[in-house]
Amino acid sequence: MWRISTLIDRVVVMRSLSRERATKWPAVGVVGFPVLFVAVWSSGFIVGAIGTREAAPAALGFWRFLLAALVMGAVVLVSRAPLPRGRVVWWHLFVTGALLQTVQFAGVFIAMGLGLAAGLTSLVTDATPLVVAVAAVPLFGERLTGWQVVGLALGTGGVVAAVGADLEGSVTAGGVVAAVVGLVGSAGGTLYQKRFGADMDMRSGMLVQLVAAVVTIAPLAALTGGFGIPWTVGAVGAVVWSALVGSIAAFVLLFVLLRHRPGAGATSYLFLVPPVTALAGVPLLGQPVSLGAVAGFALAAAGVALVTRAASSPRRLP
């Protein structure tokens, strides 16, 4: 517990330092931080695939968010983190949590549950960097250079190559709608966080967001089979890993990126998640080696390099 508190305390300290060095990376290093980000986000999909083999996705999500909220609550108490002030701030945190946690992940799982192929679902939801990059131009005054546009195109091509083997799966209208809802949650939540959550205390802010996720996913779980999960290694392990890594560590890393990079530069690393997940699935899920995953990783890596290298300095919000 104290390690999680210490990690988040350090993130809070980095926030104050970023006021003087807004365009520099955190102390974890230029290479190490993106590698950690991609590894953490990719692990969530691997663990999610294992967990949903044994339990309903909404039930897993409910216990995941509840456990994460309890852990963050303990972190807030131990570190004596200040609570948000004002109803408007609480509301912004609630909306961000509902979008990033519940809407994003519920959309993905419902899409696949309604028959949309996993590859097609991934292709829709992984358009987040494109949506964020385009929306950040009018919302935050960020500029896209020609090289960044090329990088975004390469990143998208990498995602297509990585999931290409699954693109021949079934397509359903309901599944497409659910996947688009997941995209709205991911991209919308990211933009909302960058606009209204840039100055939040990482500890208490994430606690409110996770409480919002618990409250909003509970009705979905109640309507889709209840809250029960089997006491198996796969199901319980998925809940614990998803809570500590997927709902806490992953979003701490994302929020740090959003504070230090423009929208396009921060979210472009998500292009690497599908190919890395596909490659990790070979030893962990017994999936065959895919040439598309290897090519997708190369394309996505090149795209991310162009986007982040050409990223302009972020403008601080009032």
Give the pLDDT band of residue 171 (cuts 50, 70, 90).
low
Tokens standing for 179?
A: 């996947």
- Could you tell me if residue 150 is inside a domain? yes
Q: How far apart are CA 132 and CA 119, in angstroms?
A: 21
Q: Any residues with CB less than 8 A from the CB of 252 and at least 6 apart, and which?
A: 7, 8, 11, 202, 206
pLDDT of residue 5: 52
- Could you tell me if residue 315 is inside a domain? no
pLDDT of residue 211: 97
pLDDT at 175 over 50: yes
Q: Which domain range does residue 164 map to?
A: 2-7+43-309
Give the chain's count of helices (H) and strands (E).
15, 0
pLDDT at 312 over 50: no
| pLDDT digits 0-9 by tens, 132-144 | 888 888 888 878 8
Region 138-158: what's the mean pLDDT?
83
- Could you tell me if residue 193 is inside a domain? yes
Region 168-193: what's the mean pLDDT?
84
Q: Which amino acid is at 164?
A: G
- Could you tell me if residue 318 is inside a domain? no
Tokens standing for 133?
A: 């990059």
- Could you tell me if residue 256 is inside a domain? yes
Higher-scoring residue by pLDDT: 267, 266 = 267
- Could you tell me if residue 35 is inside a domain? no
- The top-scoring range by mean pLDDT among 92-106, 125-139, 248-262 is 92-106
Q: Are residues 59 and 228 in contact, defined by beta-carbon separation less than 8 angstroms?
A: yes
pLDDT of residue 239: 94
State in Å, rounded, how far the first CA of the chain is from the last one.
34
pLDDT of residue 304: 79
The single residue listed with the structure tokens 């974890």 is: 28
| pLDDT digits 0-9 by tens, 97-112 | 999 999 988 888 778 7
Q: What are phi and psi of 145, to 5 degrees?
A: -80, 170
Number of domains in the chain: 1
- Sign, Cα dihedral of 28, 301, 142, 124: negative
pLDDT of residue 32: 74
Mean pLDDT of the chain, nearest integer: 80
- Could you tell me if residue 212 is inside a domain? yes
pLDDT at 19 over 50: no
Q: Are residues 190 and 267 in contact, defined by beta-carbon separation less than 8 angstroms?
A: yes
Region 78-105: what's the mean pLDDT?
93
pTM above 0.85, yes or no: no
- Could you tell me if residue 170 is inside a domain? yes
Higher-scoring residue by pLDDT: 162, 193 = 193
